[in-house]
Structure 1
Amino acid sequence: MDQFHLIIVTGMSGAGKSQAVKVLEDIGYFCIDNLPPVLIPKFAELCVKGGERVRHVALIADIRGGQFFDAMSQALQELRKQGVSYEIVFMEASDKVLINRYKETRRVHPLALHGRISQGIAEERKRLATLREQADFIIDTSSLKTSQLRDILRKRYALNTGRKGLTVTVVSFGFKHGMPIDADIVDDVRFLPNPYYVEEYRHKSGRVPVVRDYVQSFQVTQTFKEKWFDMIDFLLPNYEREGKSQLVIAVGCTGGMHRSVCMAEEMYRHLKETGVDVSIEHRDLAKNDVEEDAPGYEGEDA
């Protein structure tokens, strides 16, 4: 069983602590925002007793805790007595950058409720000086992009959980039923020849082999597939490099029964063959008058 490990993310207000915890959550950590330090030892004890369910935890503890934050030194001492493995990540940035961030977001600094932001920052640095000295890892976000912060944290704290990188869902749909609201990429295939106008295929889905063969018998379909697959193959590693963990590719035709179903199945098969973690969904197929359907590539794989 993996040893329980706790990451305490702290530091200057506006330095990116919340963003850091979001990254840690994405890579498998159980995360809590602004837990009062006085509660950290008890929380760690509960996690340890919880067995393998919670082995890697990250939490934010910062000046927003007010007087509770003053108990941090005692909390850390208690963790050491308990034998809890922990690491302090201290986030900071230059005064100029912090001031600009507060002005851009129009937020109020927790230590400058009725005064200047610069005064609040100075007071916060003073209060956090001792904790900064105890930090295991200091990150200055003054000139870091979000993607760079993500890379830093992933390289240091990646877990061997068996998780894959980017997961893809291919969804077929009909435009007359509305576009999927969670789609990242929407491809309109209404320009392809429509089996609906062939009486023999009208009530057969795009998964039925004769309908699939009909749609793909046209040169325009083959040309589209080649360019489409090439574009998606180019995009996926770039999305993953930027830290995207989930991608929804929506493929639409008029009703979501023939062309979109057929093309979604083709994309699913292509991505499956190239080793992508992919699933498929035909959102609007059942909304049509379907008299004949057949297992798609996913069903055949099963």
Structure 2
Amino acid sequence: MRFVIITGLSGAGKSQAVKYLEDFGFYCIDNLPPTLIPKFAELCHQSQGALDKVALVIDIRGGMFFDDLFTSLESLEALGYKYEILFLDASDNALIKRFKETRRNHPLSGDGSISKGISLEREKLKELKARANNIIDTTNLRPAQLKDELTNIYVEGNESNNLIISIVSFGFKHGVPLDADLVFDVRFLPNPFYIEELRNFTGNDTKVREYVMNSPVSVEFSNKLNDMISFLIPQYIKEGKNQLVIAIGCTGGMHRSVTIAHVLYNYLKEKGYRVLMNHRDSSLSVGRKG
């Protein structure tokens, strides 16, 4: 039996994750009091295979009962019941934005301060996160991408190294992404903006990518970037990092940055990493210097 405990930060996507796991055939229960977990696990094991995939959402909404979670997990281990912990996380900025968009209060923001509630929740969940089998940072994930991550873990059965790599192309004239961990400036590469027949296309178009990469400098830079990122990723995984945002910028975010983002994305996908790509400014830069 696969017994999954879903937890994490409020607003990080637990409700959405439950919907997808239900689609995958999991029997899901939201906000079960932790003290009932061992008894429920026993009932599942006595079902003779009728309940072979189970997911429970356990989080700070349980209030005072949440503190019983670790005792319940110890009981599961003593009874020989295996379980997994899926932890959903997101940046403070992303969580604050989501709460404001939904006009909901954070469960721990007694004085109305969302950021204070998030800080308290992070501290309360710190030990649980350290014990998680899989951590998904949803900061830059669209719903479909979250579903892909869950499919990878719970349908295809692939092991997760917990690091999601987000490659973001952008234009410096529109500002550097605030959540970037690594920022690379590619404004020294050949600029298709000055080629009239390429100006209004983007690095998503083959002819633009071919123009940019038809340069020894572009090829050499790309190779060096691939080598450096390949060196850094295992270090970040070892550190326990679960979200790495690589920002690649040119002037307008239309041609060169998009091209290099594609090249790096393809390289990392071939290496088997969990990688996403987002072209933040390509649609804003048509007809502008890129």
Residue by residue over 1:22-74, the C-alpha shift from the partner in whole angstroms, topping out at 9 and shown as x without a partner, is 10000110000011111111100011111111011011000000011001110
120, 134, 138: which one aligns with 1:137: 134
Quote the residue 2:284 is aligned against.
none
Shift of 1:19: 0.5
1:1-302 → structure 2 map (5 Å cutoff) = 4-158=1-155
Contact 2:105–2:112 (Cα < 8 Å) also in 1: no
Shift of 1:159: 7.3
What SS does the aligned partner of 1:10 have?
strand
Relative distance call for 1:13 and 1:90 in structure 2 (3 A) is same
CA distance in 2, matches of 1:56, 1:159: 14
Which amino acid letter does the alignment assign opposite residue 46 of structure 1? L
Residue by residue over 1:162-186, the C-alpha shift from the partner in whole angstroms, topping out at 9 and shown as x without a partner, is xxxxxxxxxxxxxxxxxxxxxxxxx
Quote the residue 1:175 is aligned against.
none
What is the RMSD computed on CA atoms of the aligned residues? 1.2
Contact 1:28–1:159 (Cα < 8 Å) also in 2: no
The structure having more radius of gyration, on CA atoms, is 1
Which amino acid letter does the alignment assign opposite residue 149 of structure 2? I
What SS does the aligned partner of 2:83 have?
strand
Residue by residue over 1:80-139, the C-alpha shift from the partner in whole angstroms, topping out at 9 and shown as x without a partner, is 111112100000100000000000000111001333000000000000001110000000
CA distance in 2, matches of 1:140, 1:45: 31
Which amino acid letter does the alignment assign opposite residue 96 of structure 1? N
Which amino acid letter does the alignment assign opposite residue 69 of structure 2? M
Contact 1:27–1:159 (Cα < 8 Å) also in 2: no
CA distance in 1, matches of 2:17, 2:152: 13
What SS does the aligned partner of 1:143 have?
coil
Residue by residue over 1:185-221, the C-alpha shift from the partner in whole angstroms, topping out at 9 and shown as x without a partner, is xxxxxxxxxxxxxxxxxxxxxxxxxxxxxxxxxxxxx
Give the TM-score of the pair, scaled to structure 2.
0.53
Give the TM-score of the pair, scaled to structure 1.
0.51
Which amino acid letter does the alignment assign opposite residue 84 of structure 2? E
Unaligned runs of 5+ in 1: 161-302
CA distance in 2, matches of 1:151, 1:45: 31
Relative distance call for 1:20 and 1:84 in structure 2 (3 A) is same
CA distance in 2, matches of 1:139, 1:9: 11
Which amino acid letter does the alignment assign opposite residue 158 of structure 1? V
Quote the residue 2:176 is aligned against.
none
CA distance in 2, matches of 1:68, 1:48: 24
Shift of 1:18: 0.7
Which amino acid letter does the alignment assign opposite residue 54 of structure 1? L
Shift of 1:14: 0.3
Relative distance call for 1:81 and 1:89 in structure 2 (3 A) is same
Which amino acid letter does the alignment assign opposite residue 70 of structure 1? D
Contact 2:4–2:85 (Cα < 8 Å) also in 1: yes
Which aligned segments of 4 or more residues in structure 1 are displaced greater than 6 angstroms?
Answer: none
CA distance in 2, matches of 1:110, 1:36: 16
**Corresponding residue pairs, total:** 157
CA distance in 2, matches of 1:93, 1:36: 24
Quote the residue 1:199 is aligned against.
none
Identity %: 54
What SS does the aligned partner of 1:103 have?
helix
What SS does the aligned partner of 1:68 have?
helix
